[in-house]
Amino acid sequence: MVKISRFFAYVSFFILSLMYFAPKISMYYFLEKQLQNYELIISNEECIDTGYALDIKHATVSLKSIDAAKIAEINIKIFAFYNSINVNDIYLSSMASSFVPLKIENVNIVYSVIDPTNILATSYGEFGEIDAKFDLLEMKFRAILTPSKLMLSKYKNTLRKFKKLKTGGYLYEKNI
């Protein structure tokens, strides 16, 4: 029994050490370079390795050379069994003001081995709340929007792209 507990202690220590000493900033810059192939550029950010997480502050996101958003904080946690990205205070470009409200309070994206075929996301902001799921096997994106009063009154054209549900929410599905 002692040998088994010692084995699990060594394996746990190895995994925790691997996560702590992993080159998170280098992996982030590699991901950033891969996103450039899609003309998505993240700039002016400050990367901070906090041991088990990577914090990115004051990022500007550009799509096809157009500033699309400013992000106050991104927190990335990559563990062996549970991974999450938490994004706070997103301000979209004023060009998007005719489609959606510009302030997004929080976006939380989670991937877990408990549900390995799905990536889950939740978000809330001036638009209301969104619960989204991306199915990795079927390559299908599904989002349910619970719109705010602002979204219902000023952004009716955007809501037309959604299917109205009996529960009062709006559904958006897309195969990728």
pLDDT at site 15 = 84
pLDDT at site 80 = 72
Is pLDDT at 66 greater than 90 in this prediction? Answer: no
Is pLDDT at 1 greater than 80 in this prediction? Answer: no
pTM here is 0.87
Q: Is the distance from CB of 93 to CB of 64 less than 8 angstroms? A: no
State the sign of the Cα–Cα–Cα–Cα dihedral 119, 86, 73, 46. negative
Is pLDDT at 146 greater than 90 in this prediction? Answer: yes
Higher confidence at residue 123 or residue 22? 123
pLDDT at site 78 = 85
Is pLDDT at 19 greater than 90 in this prediction? Answer: no
Is pLDDT at 75 greater than 80 in this prediction? Answer: yes
- The domain segmentation of the chain, as residue ranges, is 23-68, 79-176
pLDDT at site 167 = 87
pLDDT at site 118 = 95
What confidence tier does 30 reach under pLDDT thresholds 50, 70, 90? very high
What confidence tier does 59 reach under pLDDT thresholds 50, 70, 90? very high
Assign residue 141 a region: left if phi > 0, alpha if psi is -120 to 50, beta otherwise? beta
Percent of the chain with pLDDT over 70: 100
pLDDT at site 107 = 97
